[in-house]
A and B are shown apart, each in its own frame.
Chain A
Amino acid sequence: MGRIEELTEEVVRLFKNSGYEVDRRDVYNRLKLLIEEFKVPEDEAMRTVKNYLMKELDVSREQLIMESPLVKVADIKAPGQWVSLKAKVVQLWDSSSPNVSQVGLIGDETGIIKFVIWAKANKPQVEEGKCYLFANVVTDSFGGRMQVNVNRNSRIEEIDEDIQLPPKELEIVGALIAIQQNSGLIKRCKLCNRVLTKGVCPIHGQTESYDDLRVKGVIDDGENYYEVILNEENVRDLTGIGLEEAKEIAMENLDRTAVLSELKNRLLGRYYRLRGMRGQRYLLVSEIEFLKADVRKEGEEILGG
């Protein structure tokens, strides 16, 4: 096979992988004309022919990239990138939209990310617990979280590898720099345990409720931040204020938000050592304590180093 034939083959394959048939004869003639007759360098000739075909077929450059770079979940930081990843399907959610074929979470050893397979993509269904190569998927950002979208130019292939998910438990040291709304003495719906907002459950409306104590906050170590949820036990361990004490504070002050003010005064701005289970957004804390640091020793290490 001559050089021109090879190049022709390359162009045809490129478009075929993206689902487009091009006229081999036409490609050959164009390349031959540019390279042999006009002495255009090979790569310029290739580019010219590809551009011509893209315009003819109305295909964007991104759609033509044969295989997007293989990345890890943790590398996905910006929307609008074409990437490929090997990942395990962690969980499938019920899709409420007819435009969505499947939605859920996939993960590798570096993290977990939401994925969406559009109905239009026309792909076979994936199964929970199985591992796949998700080739040529597009990164996107929704509600502040990254996700990947599977479109009709993507490819999903089951692979014979067992991909590990990230360690679910991690230990961090950092400062509590924010306590978010819906913290303190809260009310939960008796039917679904969701937190009521202004006495109303997002699912069941006005329902019977019960009291609970928790803190939703942000731990920041200067390099990363973690959104954490402290349950009643965690809060009691740290402050001595459990659900009963919290109710008393609320009664004494005739104000439930007095509990939150008290917790803010005692907890914000301090350093902690904590362990917890990582979810998609929140770290569910299992153990937490105020940091006890040996300042003298650490200080001397800094001066000695």
Chain B
Amino acid sequence: MDGRSFKREIARRVFAFELNKATHKIESGDRAVQVLLPTGVSCNRVFIVGVLLDREETRPDSDFWKVRISDPTGVFRGFVGRFQPDALESLLKIEPPEIVAVVAKIRLFEGDTTTVVTIRPEVIIPVEREVRDYWVIETAKHTLERINRMRKGGNELVELAWQVYEPDLDYYEEKVKEAVRTLLDQHAMVESETEARESEEPEEVSEEEEKAKAEESEVESWEGEEELEGVEDIESVEREEDWELEDIDEFEFEEEEWDLRDILGE
């Protein structure tokens, strides 16, 4: 280790529609590569709770899986391979569709005509519906906060985001609120279902709606698919980068040196 700082990257809360719009990379010597979000913060890791729609092995027996995870606003696309053994192990046990929590690194693939955002899950684990619900709320709050900061302006990344993306903030705000509305509608439906116990398969409807919505936004946001397929030897590119990153995450300092139980009166 070369004495640089091993500060862990924060896991941002960001909806698929926003993440998929990101195209700008920020590289600085002492930090892992960051992606600039259209709402003006840098992002290297995300925490997502959404529906795993499918998993597909890129080539037979390659142990390299393409995944699609949906939230109320769109679809996150990503890859899970041997270099994320934990994520791979649990992914193979999951039968989609299933609600999953995902901690992932962000990758940008720059093709000739488009730039594509993908995620690289480190953790992927089935969770309860309540966790997904709260994630939508939390992500909405965080996104609205970022939108407000964009409106105020002032900091360097915010200015850069204006330059790079010129985001239509009203549209962003509307998308966020729409996600919350979808959630509350589903809630109302589930609640009335449990009360009446005879409405016609409302949960099915809501899941399908969600899927349909996801497919729809997919068309908008995924012109990059062809490009991505074209990226030569995507696995080997990933491999090198991951060695480095994994080393950093696994790095552990001797805890005893820092353990302050005694002064904290434990």
Contacts and interface: CB of A to CB of B under 8 A. Distances in A.
Contact of A264 (B49, B125, B184, B260): B125
A2 interface: no
A239 to B, nearest CB: 14
A282 B258 contact: yes
A168 interface: yes
A222 B12 contact: yes
Given A280-B258, A284-B264, A180 B137 contact: no
B47 interface: yes
Contacts of A182: 252
Contact of B258 (A181, A269, A270, A281): A281
B114 to A, nearest CB: 28
B125 A268 contact: yes
B264 A277 contact: yes
A302 B13 contact: no
Contacts of A178: 103, 122-123, 249
B213 interface: no
A175 B130 CA distance: 13
A98 interface: no
B125 A282 contact: no
Nearest to B8: A225
Interface residues of A, number: 49
A220 B134 contact: no
B4 interface: yes
A181 B250 contact: yes
Interface string A168-206: 100000010110111000000000001000000010000
Contact of A303 (B13, B123, B177): B177
B101 A141 contact: no
Contact of A281 (B3, B10, B133, B253): B253
A303 B258 CA distance: 44
A44 to B, nearest CB: 31
B26 interface: no
B189 interface: no
B245 interface: no
Interface string A245-280: 000000000000000000011001111000001111
A291 interface: yes
Interface stretch (A21-29, A35-43, A118-126, A293-301): A293-301
B144 interface: yes
Contacts of B140: 299, 302
A295 B134 contact: yes
Given A141-B3, A269-B103, A295-B187, A220 B125 contact: no
A197 to B, nearest CB: 10
Interface string B222-253: 00000000000000000000000000011111
B5 A277 contact: no
Interface in B5-56: 5-8, 10-13, 47, 49
Interface of A: 79, 90-91, 105, 141-146, 168, 175, 177-178, 180-182, 194, 202, 216, 218, 220, 222-225, 264-265, 268-271, 277-282, 284, 291, 293, 295-296, 298-300, 302-303, 305
10 contacts: A141-B5, A168-B264, A222-B11, A269-B103, A271-B138, A281-B253, A282-B258, A295-B134, A300-B184, A303-B180
